[in-house]
Amino acid sequence: MTVQFGVIEGFFGRPWDWSARLSGVEFLRDLGYQFYIYAPKADPFLRRRWREPMPEETLQHLSELSLRGTANGISIGVGLTPFEIYLNYECGRSMKQAPTCSAFYSTTCAATSTNCLGFRPT
């Protein structure tokens, strides 16, 4: 098994701006990292509004970031934290059909985070 190293922008607080993300690709490459996951907690379309379409501007930024990543050998992904999905498991089964998941098509990898959902497996 090969271990991959990368960065998940999945913190609370002020998220990075798009220019920082773009320049971060070369930084990650130079450190030998392999991936970056866009998952800021401040993006409502990755959390509470995950069932709604992501704004076109964000999709364009993700597409540009993904192209930069591909050119530099860095996989770019999106991390979704589907807020309150644990209240309706049927929703989870059809999660891949959620409009926000269209953001995954602009990237080369995806992640689903349950660390902030209050979910407790049985």
Model confidence pTM above 0.85: no
Question: In 3D, which of 7, 8, 92, 9 has the Cα closest to residue 50?
Answer: 92
- Contact between 24 and 7 under an 8 Å Cβ cutoff? The reply is yes
Tens-binned pLDDT, residue by residue, of the chain (122 aa):
788 899 999 888 999 999 999 999 999 999 999 999 999 999 999 888 888 888 999 999 999 999 999 999 999 988 887 776 666 655 555 555 555 555 555 555 555 554 544 444 44
Rounded to a whole number, what is the distance in angstroms from the first to the last CA of the chain? 29
> DSSP secondary structure string, 41-96?
TT-GGGTTTTTSPPPHHHHHHHHHHHHHHHHHT-EEEEEE--TTGGG-HHHHHTGG
